[in-house]
């Protein structure tokens, strides 16, 4: 059964550009009042993917007028040594946001390190205090990807109140906070995961389906509700020819990219399901594009809250 309408592509790149423009204006206003928001990023070791992500974050800070400080301790750093770095950043008045780039080396106790970050500077929204505030419906620094989901739905005027929202995935970084944020928008939320029995019976009733399980094409066309909104959080690299053909056979643009790079990316939703939807986020160019923009939002929010600057005072 096909949707009777042409699906709306929810362009995360365009929405991220809007958000960054707004943040740049806020930063300019804050700086005119004597405050420059500052973000400290801790990158342990030399993981290529992490280095790319961090460069993008530092670049965004520079573009928007946010001060940034990149700390690059060696991969051999101990948990105690990393905790000492976090303590120093907590104490620095010029640092409003602290981001610990994940993953950390296996010998480092990541939970201890993340829990050591001052909740007021926790721009990744991973501290238990911020998670608790989010769950109780109080103002909190929310994880950037789920916050981006809410932003794109609001800005594209997609209703959430009263809608059946199904989240597939229960991570602390995406699934759980996405559920809390959708609840705050008065959606009726169901959380599913890899061990949910008869998963399709839930997903086929989803007005808004958020896939955040980390498995390529896990949600098939038969599992979606015609006319539903599909939010794909997954970014999975595939380099197998058979898997490529499964998702992208006949897609000339993808074929050219695959031939050149030897891989392409696919989300957690089979891209063939998008044709059934009323709106969807593509991969790439969807939710992932919003994550850095929301990090910038959180950094400015943390700066204002820490220094008791309201939006009106900044102006």
Considering the candidates 96, 118, 122, 124, report the single residue annotated as catalytic.
124
Tens of pLDDT, residue by residue over 252-264, are 999 999 999 999 9
57 is catalytic: yes
Please give the Cα distance from 215 to 219 (Å, whole number): 9
208 is a domain residue: yes
Please give the Cα distance from 88 to 85 (Å, whole number): 5
Of 222, 219, 201, 210, nearest in space to 174 by CA:
210
Residue 52 half-sphere exposure toward CB, CA atoms < 13 A: 2
**What integer pLDDT is reported at residue 311 of this predicted model?**
45
Tens of pLDDT, residue by residue over 226-272, are 999 999 999 999 999 999 999 999 899 999 999 999 999 999 999 99
* Whether 157 and 107 share a structural domain: no
* Whether 208 and 91 share a structural domain: no
Tens of pLDDT, residue by residue over 173-219, are 999 999 999 999 999 999 999 899 999 999 999 999 999 999 999 99
* Whether 153 and 286 share a structural domain: yes
Please give the Cα distance from 168 to 156 (Å, whole number): 22
**What integer pLDDT is reported at residue 1 of this predicted model?**
46
47 is a domain residue: yes
Buried b (16+ CB within 10 A) or exposed e, 135-156: eeeeebbbbbbbbbbbbbbeee
* Whether 184 and 272 share a structural domain: yes
Note the helical H segments in the chain: 12-32, 48-64, 79-91, 110-116, 128-135, 144-155, 175-184, 199-203, 241-248, 252-261, 288-306, 311-314
233 is a domain residue: yes
* Whether 57 and 147 share a structural domain: no
* Whether 245 and 112 share a structural domain: no
69 is catalytic: no
Please give the Cα distance from 296 to 142 (Å, whole number): 12
202 is a domain residue: yes
Q: How many residues are there in the chain?
A: 315
* Beta pairing, strands 264-266 & 236-238: antiparallel
Q: What are phi and psi of 266, to 5 degrees?
A: -140, 150
* Whether 280 and 245 share a structural domain: yes
CATH code, domain with 53: 3.40.50.10860
* Whether 71 and 208 share a structural domain: no
CATH code, domain with 222: 3.40.50.720
* Whether 70 and 165 share a structural domain: no
Total number of domains constituting the chain:
2
pLDDT band at 4 (very low <50, low <70, confident <90, very high): low
Tens of pLDDT, residue by residue over 120-162, are 999 999 999 999 999 998 888 999 999 999 999 999 999 999 9
4 is a domain residue: no
163 is catalytic: no
Cα dihedral 182→187→188→190 (10° resolution): -30
Tens of pLDDT, residue by residue over 60-80, are 999 999 999 999 999 999 999
**What integer pLDDT is reported at residue 275 of this predicted model?**
96
pLDDT for 33 beyond 50: yes
**What integer pLDDT is reported at residue 159 of this predicted model?**
98
Beta bridge partners of 240: none
112 is a domain residue: yes
**What integer pLDDT is reported at residue 48 of this predicted model?**
86
Taking a C-beta distance cutoff of 8 angstroms, is the pair 163, 188 a contact?
yes
End-to-end CA distance of the chain: 52
* Whether 150 and 76 share a structural domain: no
19 is a domain residue: no
> Domain limits at 227?
143-290
Please give the Cα distance from 218 to 236 (Å, whole number): 11
Tens of pLDDT, residue by residue over 78-126, are 999 999 999 999 999 999 999 999 999 999 999 999 999 999 999 999 9
Please give the Cα distance from 259 to 244 (Å, whole number): 11
Please give the Cα distance from 304 to 153 (Å, whole number): 25
Beta bridge partners of 189: 165
* Whether 42 and 162 share a structural domain: no
Taking a C-beta distance cutoff of 8 angstroms, is the pair 69, 95 a contact?
yes
**What integer pLDDT is reported at residue 313 of this predicted model?**
46
Average the pLDDT over 276-283 and give the result: 97
Considering the candidates 96, 101, 225, 268, report the single residue annotated as catalytic.
101
* Whether 65 and 182 share a structural domain: no
44 is a domain residue: yes
**What integer pLDDT is reported at residue 312 of this predicted model?**
43
**What integer pLDDT is reported at residue 315 of this predicted model?**
43
């Amino acid at each position: 059964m096909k949707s009777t309408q042409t699906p709306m592509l929810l362009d995360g790149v365009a929405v991220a550009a809007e958000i960054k423009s707004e943040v740049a204006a806020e930063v300019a206003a804050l700086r005119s009042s004597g405050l420059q928001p500052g973000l400290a990023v801790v990158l342990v070791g030399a993981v290529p993917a992490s280095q790319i992500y961090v460069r993008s974050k530092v670049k965004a800070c520079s573009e928007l007028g946010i001060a940034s400080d990149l700390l690059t301790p060696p991969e051999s750093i101990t948990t105690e040594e990393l905790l000492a770095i976090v303590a120093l950043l907590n104490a620095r008045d010029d640092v409003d946001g602290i981001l610990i780039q994940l993953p950390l080396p296996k010998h480092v106790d990541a939970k201890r390190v993340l829990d050591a970050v001052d909740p007021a500077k926790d721009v990744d929204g991973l501290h238990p205090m911020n998670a608790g505030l989010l769950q109780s419906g109080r103002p909190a620094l929310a994880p950037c990807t789920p916050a981006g989901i809410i932003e794109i739905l609001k800005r594209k005027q997609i209703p959430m109140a009263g809608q059946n929202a199904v989240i597939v995935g229960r991570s602390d970084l995406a699934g759980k906070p996405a559920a809390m944020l959708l609840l705050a928008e008065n959606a009726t939320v169901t959380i599913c995961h890899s061990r949910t029995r008869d998963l399709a019976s839930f997903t086929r009733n989803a007005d808004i389906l958020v896939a955040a399980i980390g498995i390529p094409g896990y949600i098939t066309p038969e599992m979606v509700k015609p006319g539903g909104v599909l939010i794909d959080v997954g970014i999975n690299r595939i380099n197998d020819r058979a898997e490529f053909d499964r998702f992208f056979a006949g897609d000339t643009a993808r074929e050219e990219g695959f031939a050149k790079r030897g891989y392409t990316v696919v989300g957690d939703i089979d891209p063939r399901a998008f044709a059934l939807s009323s709106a969807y986020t593509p991969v790439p160019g969807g939710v992932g594009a919003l994550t850095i923009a929301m990090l910038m939002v959180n950094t400015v929010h943390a700066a204002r809250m820490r220094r008791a600057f309201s939006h009106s005072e900044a102006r």
